[in-house]
Amino acid sequence: MTRETRVTATPGESPRLTRKITRTETQRLAMLEPATREATIELHGLCAAEGIDLLIGETYRDHGKQAAEVAAGRSATTRSWHAVRRAVHLYPFID
């Protein structure tokens, strides 16, 4: 999917990103419980206002996926915030 990112700024202002959240990111946000989803959207907007573009990564993991993460050594617990839809991976995007 093509990323649409525009940076706008007027003299003396911080740059603002106007990239649209991708369909995949929207689907990931929809998997979060409402308060976590709203906080993530708010943080995404605050970062964009400062010129920081965040990619929305993994959110919900079912118990099987979490167990696989533990078995692979990428997680230390089977009781993850991902399983209750309250965790999100955010990555600063550098073009």
Q: Give the pLDDT band of residue 11 (cuts 50, 70, 90).
A: low
Average pLDDT over the chain reads: 85
pLDDT, mean of residues 60-65? 95
Q: Give the pLDDT band of residue 17 (cuts 50, 70, 90).
A: low
Nearest to 69 by CA among 53, 89, 51: 89
Contact yes or no for 25/55 (Cβ under 8 A): yes
Between CA 54 and CA 52 the distance in angstroms is: 6
Nearest to 2 by CA among 23, 18, 17, 32: 23
Residues 20-58: pLDDT tens digits? 889 999 999 999 999 999 999 999 989 888 888 999 999
Point out which residues pair with 53 in neighbouring strands. Answer: 93
Point out which residues pair with 91 in neighbouring strands. Answer: 55
